[in-house]
Amino acid sequence: MDSLTAGRQESWEAVRCVVGGIVTALRVTLYSILALLEPIIVWSAMAIALTGIALCVFFDLIIHAPHFPTVIVVALILASGLGLVGYYALMAFLLPD
């Protein structure tokens, strides 16, 4: 009876090791893909934010355009910033040990 219990424990330990290896492989793969895409994603988000700031300054403060969607552009600026924060949080979560 004791040998069966020990055999089950060993098999569960082997399953845990295999699942842990698969999870680690997935984490490393996803992290490497995100690290490769980092310059493109950061450049795109910063370009969106800087373009939105320039548009807000030009249309809202300089020429006072009455129908310019300032709220939508500011929301887009904030969304690109929060997207970058989420991107870096995901990278920190997936960082291999």
* pLDDT score of 55: 94
How does pLDDT run across 35-85, given as a tens digit for each residue? 999 999 999 999 999 999 999 999 988 998 888 899 999 999 999 999 999
* pLDDT score of 90: 95
Q: Hey, what are 47's tokens?
A: 């370009």
pTM value?
0.80
Report the chain's C-alpha Rg in angstroms. 24
* pLDDT score of 10: 80
pLDDT band for 9, please (50, 70, 90 cuts): confident
As a three-state string, the secondary structure of the chain is CHHHHHHHHHHHHHHHHHHHHHHHHHHHHHHHHHHHHHHHHHHHHHHHHHHHHHHHHHHHHHCCCCCCCHHHHHHHHHHHHHHHHHHHHHHHHHCCC
